[in-house]
Amino acid sequence: MFDTIVVATDGSESVRRAVDVALDLADRFGASVHALYVVDASEVDSSPERLRDEMREALTERGQRALSEVEEATDRSVTTAVREGRPATVVGDYAREVDADMVAMGTRGRHGENRFLIGSVAERVVRTCPVPVLTVRQLAEDETDGLEGTPESA
C-alpha cells in the first residue's frame, strides 16, 4: 500500500510524533522514507538584504539538524533533502518528484503558537498535495499514543 513515505519536518518538538508514526508505517509496509526540510523563502526574503545569506545558511543548518534527528530515530535508510521555497508548495512538489504514496507531517510546527488553523502549513499541504497527507497532532502531556517503543507509551 505504501512504497514511499515523505516526512516533512521542521525540527520542532511537535513534529517528533509525526516522525515516529511515519517510521512505524514505513516499517510495517517496508516503505522507503524521505525526510524533507523546507527553508521558508518568505523568512529569508523578509530579513534585511545584508543578512539574507546568513539567514539562509542558518535555516539550512537547522534543516540538516532536523533531518539528522529523523535519521537517528531509525535503523533504516532515510533519503534526506533540504529545499527552499514556500513550504506547502515544496512539500507537494517533492512528493510528486519522488512518487510518494503519502506525506506525514505534524499539525503544529515551530510557528504553531502564532498561527490559527487556517493558514497553517499543514492545512495548505492537505488542501494542495497530490498524494494523501497524514497529519499527526502533538499530544498533551497527559495523553499517550500507544506506539510501541516511544517515550509517550512508556
Q: What is the pLDDT of residues 84-124, one digit of tens each?
A: 999 999 999 999 999 999 999 998 644 444 444 434 889 99
Q: Is residue 36, in this structure, part of any structural domain at all? A: yes
Residue of higher predicted confidence among 26 and 145 = 26
C-alpha cell recorded at residue 79: 533519503
Q: Is residue 80, in this structure, part of any structural domain at all? A: yes
Q: Is residue 146, in this structure, part of any structural domain at all? A: no
The pairing of strands 78-85 and 32-40 is parallel
pLDDT in tens, 43-79: 999 999 999 999 999 999 999 999 999 999 999 999 9
The total domain count for the chain is: 1
pLDDT in tens, 2-52: 999 999 999 888 789 999 999 999 999 999 999 999 999 999 999 999 999
Identify the three-state secondary structure at position 61: helix
pLDDT at 126 over 90: yes
Instruction: Kindly provide the b/e burial profile for residues 48-67, where b requires at least 16 CB atoms within 10 angstroms of the residue's own CB.
Output: eeeeeeebbeebeebbeebb
Alpha-carbon gap, residue 2 to 29, rounded angstroms: 6
pLDDT at 119: 42
The conformation of residue 137, written as its DSSP 8-state character, comes to P
pLDDT at 75: 95
- What CA dihedral angle connects 112, 118, 120 and 122, to 10 degrees? 110
Q: Is residue 105, in this structure, part of any structural domain at all? A: yes
Q: Is residue 151, in this structure, part of any structural domain at all? A: no
Q: Is residue 37, in this structure, part of any structural domain at all? A: yes
C-alpha cell recorded at residue 19: 516522525
Degrees to nearest 5, angle at CA 136 with 95 and 149: 105
Q: Is residue 30, in this structure, part of any structural domain at all? A: yes
Domain containing 10 — which CATH number?
Answer: 3.40.50.12370
Q: How many CB atoms lie within 10 A of CB 68?
A: 14
pLDDT at 18: 93
- Domain housing 62: 4-140
Q: Is residue 132, in this structure, part of any structural domain at all? A: yes
